[in-house]
Structure formats: C-alpha cells, structure tokens
Amino acid sequence: MYEQLDKRDPAIRAEIAARFNGRIPYNQAIGLRVVDVATERVVTALDYRECFLGDPGAGLWHTAVGMAAADSTCGLAVFLALPGLETIATLDLRMDYLRPAVAEQGLWIEAECYHVTRCVGFVRATLHQGDRERAVSLCTAAFMRTGKQIKP
C-alpha cells in the first residue's frame, strides 16, 4: 500500500510534507513552513523572529537556526524522493556560510535530493533571504535510509 503512493502528485506531496513537518516539534517551535513541494525542489521558510538573532547588536541570525531548518528541509527532500514511506536519519550535513543572514528578513531554504542509493539519499540546499543568487549558505547532506516502513 505505501509503495502505491504517487509522490509525483502535488496534492500527495503536499500532504506528506505537511505531516512530515508537523511531526517534528522543533519545526513547530521555530515556525518552519513548507512553502512548495510541487516539484523536486522542496522550499521551506522561516519568518524573522528577534529570538533568532545570535548577534543582536549587529542584527545577525544565529547560524544554528538555519542549520536546523536546512537539516529538516533536506530530510524532507530525501523523504519525498524515496519510492515509499520509510524512516531516514541524517548521516552528514555540511554548511558553507557565504554571508550572514540579517535581521528583519525571513529565511528561505530550497533543497533538492539529487541521488538516492539503496542505503543513502544525497541532497543539496541553498539558504537565502529572498534572492537565491545571493545565498547566505549552501548545504550538502546525506541521509541514511533505514528500510523501516512507516504508515502514512
């Protein structure tokens, strides 16, 4: 039954993404929103909050907020790329910080799973504040496939 889900269907992808996001308490705490999953590129967003600042004097976001959001968004991209519904776990996540994320602006995370093997899903992501060509961070990650099927 789980293998029969057509993850190419935008409505099914949206439902899976909403459930995935809703089951992660940290995502709920920071307000991570799923913006678009209609294509292979998964887009999430965080609205600016003053509590996200790591350097309030300079008005710069704490890098850990973006890293946690990237981890979840990348995981969602892998989850949607798998043929069925199975648990996954982060194996490796690398962030390249290009410039600081600044106060008063939200953060967008765009992730795409570019390769899946029997055991691992590989994904890359761009974090930006409205201009994808002016990224604040680039992320690459690998997620382990556990093979454990889950119910929708």
* Radius of gyration, alpha carbons of the chain: 15
* For the chain, domain boundaries: 2-149
- Residue 42's Cβ-count burial label (10 Å; 0-12, 13-18, 19+) is buried
The Cα 110–Cα 132 span in angstroms is: 9
Neighbours of 50 (CB within 10 A): 9
List all residues 6 or more positions away from 39 whose beta carbon is below 8 Å from its beta carbon. Answer: none
pLDDT digits 0-9 by tens, 48-65: 999 999 999 999 999 999
pLDDT digits 0-9 by tens, 63-103: 999 999 999 999 999 999 998 899 999 999 999 999 999 99
pLDDT band at residue 4 using 50, 70 and 90 as cut-offs: low
pLDDT of residue 9: 87
* Topology of domain 2-149, CATH: Thiol Ester Dehydrase; Chain A (3.10.129)
CB 79 within 8 A of CB 20: yes
In this prediction the pTM is 0.93
- CA 8 to chain centroid, in Å, comes to 18
**Alpha helices of the chain — where are they, by DSSP H?**
10-22, 25-30, 63-81
